[in-house]
């Protein structure tokens, strides 16, 4: 009986210790952005500007994860987060013994900065570069094209999370 009670006490003590240290899994809670960034306009410069998926994802993530109010273009007296387009390309990484492509490297890049209403830099221009490799099977082309699209979408989502983390680390 005392061994069982000792084990129960040890489990309780360890769980209280872990809870008391402030440990949280990544992604829990809100990103703590500076009060100067609580209201932002988001604009995109570069390729694919109309209907830009990156812009929509950044706006949604800022709103949900950081409680940032996204202002319409008409409001001028607030900071502007500028996304300098997204660039995505691929290159051959390796060939098989028959000189057929067997592996590709996907690269994704996005630049951003934040300027205040007067046009002064608040957050210097920063670059996020991500890359993934995937194997290619010429007998399964449609599935591999779908895999490439999914990898590009995952890299875009990861870039959005990095933008939020970098904005959260900024302070005047």
- Say how many residues make up the chain: 172
Give the domains, in start order, of the chain with CATH numbers. Answer: 28-169 (3.30.160.150)
Q: Return the pLDDT at 96.
A: 77
Helix, strand, or coil (residue 19): helix
Q: Return the pLDDT at 100.
A: 75
Residues 45 and 136: their CA atoms lie apart, in Å, by: 33
Q: Return the pLDDT at 104.
A: 79
**pLDDT under 50: residue ranges of the chain:** 50
Q: Return the pLDDT at 145.
A: 77
Q: Using an 8 Å Cβ cutoff, are 69 and 39 in contact?
A: yes
| pTM confidence score | 0.73
> Which residues, including other chains, have CB under 8 Å from residue 6's CB and lie 6 or more apart?
none
Question: pLDDT tens across 88-108, in order?
Answer: 888 877 777 777 777 878 899
Q: At what angle do helices 53-66 and 141-169 cross, to 10 degrees?
A: 50
Q: Which residues pair with 86 in a beta bridge?
A: 110
Q: Using an 8 Å Cβ cutoff, are 126 and 113 in contact?
A: yes
Residues 22 and 79: their CA atoms lie apart, in Å, by: 32
Q: Return the pLDDT at 148.
A: 80
Q: How far is CA 147 from CA 87, 110, 133, 142, in A?
A: 18, 21, 11, 9
Q: Return the pLDDT at 160.
A: 93
H, E, C per residue of 47-71: CCCCCCHHHHHHHHHHHHHHCCEEC
């Amino acid at each position: 009986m005392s061994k069982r009670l000792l084990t129960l006490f040890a489990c309780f003590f360890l769980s209280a210790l872990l809870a008391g240290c402030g440990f949280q899994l990544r992604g829990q809670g809100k990103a703590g952005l500076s009060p100067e960034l609580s209201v932002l306009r988001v604009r995109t410069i570069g390729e694919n500007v109309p209907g830009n998926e990156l812009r929509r994802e950044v706006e949604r993530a800022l709103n949900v994860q950081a409680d940032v109010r996204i202002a319409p273009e008409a409001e001028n007296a607030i900071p502007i987060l500028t996304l300098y387009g997204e660039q995505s390309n691929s290159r051959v990484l390796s060939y098989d013994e028959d000189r057929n492509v067997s592996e590709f490297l996907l690269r994704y890049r996005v630049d951003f900065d934040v300027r205040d209403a007067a046009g002064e830099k608040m957050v210097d221009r920063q670059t996020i570069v991500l890359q993934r490799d995937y194997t290619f099977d010429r007998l399964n082309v449609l599935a591999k094209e779908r895999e490439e699209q999914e990898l590009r979408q995952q890299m875009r989502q990861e870039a959005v999370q990095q933008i939020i983390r970098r904005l959260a680390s900024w302070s005047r």
